[in-house]
Structure 1
Amino acid sequence: MPPTDARADTVTVPGTDLGTSATASQSSGTDGEDTLDLRLPEEFIALCAEVETVDPAAHGAVAHAIGLRNPPEGTEGAAQPNPAVQPDTAVPDDVDARPNSGFSPNSYVPPSDDLLDRVADWGPTHTPAGVFHLLPVHIERDLPLITRWMNDPAVAEFWELAGPQALTEDHLHAQLAGDGRSVPCLGVLDGTPVSYWEIYRADLDPLARHYPARPHDTGIHLLIGNVTDRGRGLGVTLLRAVADLVLDKRSACARIVAEPDIRNTPSVAAFLGAGFRFSAEVDLPGKRAALMVRDRSLRDLL
């Protein structure tokens, strides 16, 4: 399991394979505002009660139509969900989606062919360092380069993917063959690959078990590939550029998150420099992480 941070020079926040036994730290203050409170409107509850009084079978059909339970016997044709109306990332209203409630965000995947709004179509963006482009990984084209980066000691210490090419290939295939909740990318600056990224749906990731996730939260992992590109502020520049891309291209996303090791002060500083704020300390398998958040509402202030 690759851990989720690195030294400031690599600005590495690799993927997380989180188990279910770890618990998020409890914190006070404004972080409590992040907790979801999913409730049916009082008017709707009253309406359902009125329908049940008049016709219990119809009440069951209504409950089925909003996804709360299976249709009662003999009412299969009474009221069915409209197939043209699909849920987004909201969970059923009778489920407590707060952290540590036992609800697994991984098990509730919205019906979508592309959970990240077509990263391949995001296009280039201008940065102080040059024109930057996120390109989804092609195994045949990119595997040798990414494998070489993973075997750099500064990267390997934190990603734990040093070794034969097959090890990196398996890591990439796991995402490319998935449902689209994570997209591995090369970061290309002025036509030259300089970084590796993973853009992922944090609200559908095991990470969501450890913080009050909101629908469409988007996570990022990053490593800077070449030694000569480290230690000169490039990580801060690219983190800000990619965060801006996410906010520009994913209108439903209100927050971008990352989880570097709390002990890695330079890495946390890089996120702060890129407009992220420190939200909380979170216990993850193998480390205590700094939950870093970039809010759409604070985009022009940080």
Structure 2
Amino acid sequence: MPPTDASTDASTDAGTESATDCATGSAVESVTADRADGQDTLDLRLPDELIALLAASGEGAAHAARIGTDARTADRAPTQPAASPVEDLLDGVGDWGPATTDAGVFQLVPVRIERDLPLISRWMNDPAVAAFWELAGSDAVTEAHLRRQLDGDGRSVPCLGVLEGTPMSYWEVYRADLDALARHYPARPHDTGVHLLIGGVADRGRGLGTVLLRAVADLVLDHRASCARVIAEPDLRNTPSVSAFLSAGFRFAAEVDLPDKRAALMVRDRALRAVL
């Protein structure tokens, strides 16, 4: 289940190493997304005479042999509907590339469990993080959380936040309009949400949360032309986290009651991007 809160840090003015708060409620459910229809396929078989004619020319021999083999294989194989590919609901997060920030070059790198699980699990067992994400325990607990996203329909993409070549934060970029969060606020098509935790204690409490939240919101708006708003819902009680969002150009839109917290609905508008 998604976390109740994410763990960001506040700006330097807040002076608090609090957990960064950017997560949807832990009981957030999924809403069914539209699937791409499979396309009909047409099996073609070249006549043996034509294959022999093509094979007779030295230039076309290899090509003809390949075509003939493929055609006969298709002719023998049972006809099956083409598999429907998983729709890219977030416009290729892994291809968004780096962003230059005041803290250095930052990039979202989609999670690979075999590579990243030990690090993310260690962060989840930090008491400051566990208080909000509720994923403390063995690696299997974190792995189950990650696999629900990685094996899902693509509406949520877990990523490492890599700053100057070092993984230092965990992010989830998700379709807020397809999430159960949409039941609790007036969602618009393609609203995109973010969850965040900053992993190391040394990276908290010095304004990095604000810098990285602004960078990621800009990445979303730069690469998702259909998205007009970036959404977040930190716990209303986490004042340093709410302050970090405000400093990153989000506005406080409303208080919302989620299944296990009262949240501050934070919104970064494309239309106000230049002035916030």
Q: Report the TM-score when normalising by structure 1.
A: 0.69
Determine the structure 2 residue equivalent to 1:39. none
Q: Summarize deviations over 1:64-84 as a string: whole Å, max 9, x none.
A: xxxxxxxxxxxxxxxxxxxxx
2:262 corresponds to 1:253: no
- Equivalent residue, structure 2, for 1:106: 31
Aligned to 2:182: 208
2:22 aligned with 1:13 = yes
CA contact (8 A) 1:17 1:206 kept: no
Q: Which residue in 2 is equivalent to 1:144? A: 118
Q: What displacement does 1:19 show? A: 6.0
Structure 1 segments (4+ residues) deviating >4 Å: none
Taking only aligned residues, the RMSD between alpha carbons, in angstroms, comes to 1.6
How many Å separate the matches in 2 of 1:228 and 1:19?
A: 31
Q: What is the aligned counterpart of 1:217 among 178, 191, 199? A: 191
Question: Which residue does 2:129 correspond to in 1?
Answer: 155
Is 1:4 the counterpart of 2:5? The answer is yes
**What CA distance in whole angstroms lies between the structure 1 residues aligned with 2:160 and 2:24?**
15
Number of residue pairs aligned between Structure 1 and Structure 2: 218
| 2: CA distance, partners of 1:215 / 1:18 | 22
Which of 228, 247, 252 is matched with 1:278 structurally? 252
Residue deviations 1:30-68, cap 9 Å, x none? xxxxxxxxxxxxxxxxxxxxxxxxxxxxxxxxxxxxxxx
Larger radius of gyration: 2
Contact 2:35 2:87 in 1 (8 A): no
Which letter maps to 1:147? S
Post-superposition shift, 1:137?
0.1
Gaps of 5+ in 1: 21-104
SS of the aligned residue for 2:202 comes to: helix
Cα distance in structure 2, aligned partners of 1:110 and 1:255: 23
- Counterparts of 1:79-118 in structure 2, within 5 Å, are 106-109=31-34, 111=36, 113-118=87-92
User: In structure 1, what is the equivalent of residue 263 of structure 2?
Assistant: 289
Deviations along 1:207-239, whole A, 9 cap, x unmatched?
Answer: 001000000000000000000000000010000
Sequence identity (%): 70
Give the distance between the partners of 2:21 and 2:246, measured in 1 at CA.
14
Distance 1:108 1:193 in 2: 31
The 3 A distance-change label for structure 1 pair 247 and 225 is same
Which residue of 2 is the match for residue 169 of structure 1? 143
Scaled by the length of structure 2, what TM-score is found? 0.76
- Partners of 2:177 and 2:149 in 1: CA distance: 16
Q: Which moved more, 1:207-216 or 1:110-119?
A: 110-119
AA of the residue aligned to 1:137: V
The one-letter code of the counterpart of 1:185 is C
Deviation at 1:151, TM superposition (A): 0.5
Query: Structure 1 residues 110, 274: closer, same or farther in 2, change over 3 A?
Result: farther
Which amino acid counterpart does residue 34 of structure 2 have in structure 1? V
Q: Is the 8 A contact 1:187 1:195 kept in 2?
A: yes
Partner SS for 1:107? coil
